[in-house]
Amino acid sequence: MKSNTKITLIIFSMVLLLTSIIVVLVAIGSRQVGYDAVKKKAYLTADIVKNSLTSHMVNGNMAQRDVFLDSISQLKNVQSLWLVRAKSVSEQFGNSNLANEKPKDEIDLQVLNTGIEKIVIEESLYTANLRITIPYTASSLDRPNCLNCHNAKEGEVLGAISLSFDISEDRGSNIMVLIYIIGTISIFLIVFLIFMRKKITPYTNSFDSLSDVLKKVHEGDYSIRANPGVLKEDKEVSNWLNELIEKLETVLTGIEKNLTSFVHNRTSNVNHDKLITAKEIIEDISEIYHYKKTIENDLTIDDIYHRLILVLKDKLEINCFVIFETDLLKDERKTIFASNGAIACCDLKQNIKEACRAERINSIVSSENFPEICRVAKCKVDENYICIPFYVNEQKNIVIHIISKSQDELNNLKYKIGIIKKYLEETKPILESKILMEALRQKNLTDSLTGLYNRKYLDEIVEKQLNLDMKNGVVYAIMFLDIDYFKMVNDTYGHDVGDDILRKLAITMKKSISSNETLIRYGGEEFLILMKNATQESAKELANKINADFSKIIFNYGGDSFSKTVSIGYSFFPTDTDQFWKCIKYADISLYEAKSTGRNKVIKFSKDILKNGDKIDY
């Protein structure tokens, strides 16, 4: 309902209520005035009758009183008139023979007994009568003195007069007055409403226009403009509002255009309110900024991955996803993280460059429109997947593999792709920096000739890992290996051949160990093996295997064919000693024992091989 109609109805209701109150009050007042006029007429008639009857009595004409009473009863609007004698008067003067001097009903008797006048009004649709019965009381103050003629006491009721009046005419007059009043007020009301409607219409139209505009703006439509209005005041208000909306539209459009591209064409699939969209974009940018500042202070690559996983799980509320990391140099892939219950549609581990469509084309791959768009990925019938590849550097590539179990979930994921890519973009420089630092660290800890760890790595692992493992009861076997007569090779065939033999030994050891063993080039032709969770049997078995496998290799250099052997000594930490470097010394002593007793041997450390000075320290 328009405000103009509402205001008109309110004014009409108020005036109508006021009119009704006035009409009711006038009707009540007119009725009461009519009754009062009839009562005055009755009192006057009663006094006339009383005085006339007194004159008749004084003049001795009481026999002619009926003529007088009949003439009075013929007055206009007087329907009937009769007198009633009190008992004391009848006893003094005798009973009257006139019909109009006898009690007619209970009302006459009540008035004679109580001396209180009685009024009865009888109304119907077409008639209205007022009957009044007035007592005559004895009073010495009257002229002539009532007590001179009547044997009565002061204030005693001598009789009563009853009058019945037809007040239909008066009621009709009152009704006509009410009709005139109602008609006059109705005309005034109509004129007043027309006048007020004409005056308030410009204001209400302006208000309705502003209300419609604000409603549209509330719903997110900033293209709407308010009507200019008619009056000066509403023109100004409309112009101010239009200017404000135009500024909002310009600013929000700019924010949406510029910042949406900042977060990869982010568009909301829920609402189209530019203000809400701008708020969401700014919140995303703020959270991305805080994310970037946080990962800049993370120490390791694993910390950064952990932070990215939390964003995907908690911020973006992605329930089922897997993060792959591809080593581009080795063309191998490993799983960084898989959320609870997430089973990747693809289990590819090698030949990533050719087999993985997302990495091959470096673009997002979705199974929504083409379920078999990637021939390697095999999902369940009711599942879809989205693969988001991200190139970090020449060494690493990341793929976020997201599985959706419904169309609604897939639509929601598509809406989040832009934000995911922005998080990945902000992750890239920090992750790339960490990868380069890790590469430098690995290079610093790795022997360039054999690709094995060097002694610096041993220093680091002792500081970070071994003390913790010792508290947890982990047992290490520490093996020292040395190539027999290696100096002869260098002297005879040159250092290049010696280097080649060292590399062959490194390869042999790599093939023999598991993930629990760590290979270290300790120096020259000496190598160190740290065997975690070792037993007497497993340590001996590994040492014998390396010794046997390496001795089977035939080297051909300078027209000569020959084989080489290794000597191995090993000890157990913390079984033999709870001092790690001392345990290394024991392994070295065992190696020396193998070398000094014929070479090409595997000797386990025992106290018996210690010299006197070392036995004291043992």
Tokens of 350: 């090698």
For residue 429, say if its preceding peptide bond is cis, omega within 30 degrees of 0.
no
Say if residues 294 and 307 touch (Cβ distance below 8 Å). Answer: yes
Beta bridge partners of residue 518, listed in sequence order:
530
Rounded CA-CA distance 573/532 in Å is 10
169 is annotated as an active-site residue: no
Task: Return the residue matching tokens 């604000």.
Answer: 214
Rounded CA-CA distance 390/373 in Å is 19
Strand 602-604 with 566-573, pairing: parallel
Rounded CA-CA distance 101/13 in Å is 57
Strand 332-338 with 517-523, pairing: unpaired
Task: Return the residue matching tokens 């932070």.
Answer: 307
Nearest to 547 by CA among 511, 601, 589: 601
Rg for the chain, CA atoms, rounded: 61
Say if residues 584 and 572 touch (Cβ distance below 8 Å). Answer: no
Torsion from C-alpha of 610, 613, 615, 618, nearest 10 degrees: -110
Nearest to 447 by CA among 539, 357, 520, 342: 520
What are the phi and psi torsion angles at 383 (to 5°)? -115, 150
Say if residues 342 and 404 touch (Cβ distance below 8 Å). Answer: no
Strand 526-532 with 476-483, pairing: antiparallel
- Write the secondary structure of 173-225 as one string of H (helix), E (strand) and C (coil): HHHHHHHHHHHHHHHHHHHHHHHHHHHHHHHHHHHHHHHHHHHHHHCCCCCCC
- Classify the C-alpha dihedral 276-277-279-280 as positive or negative: positive
Nearest to 266 by CA among 275, 277, 254: 277
Nearest to 83 by CA among 65, 100, 108, 104: 100
Per this entry, what is the length of the chain? 618
Beta bridge partners of residue 31, listed in sequence order:
none
H-run or E-run covering 333:
strand 332-338
| Cα–Cα–Cα angle for 471, 476, 477, rounded to 5 degrees | 160
Rounded CA-CA distance 44/35 in Å is 14
What are the phi and psi torsion angles at 350 (to 5°)? -135, 170
Determine which one of 156, 256, 359, 525 is catalytic: 525
So which residues are the catalytic ones? 525
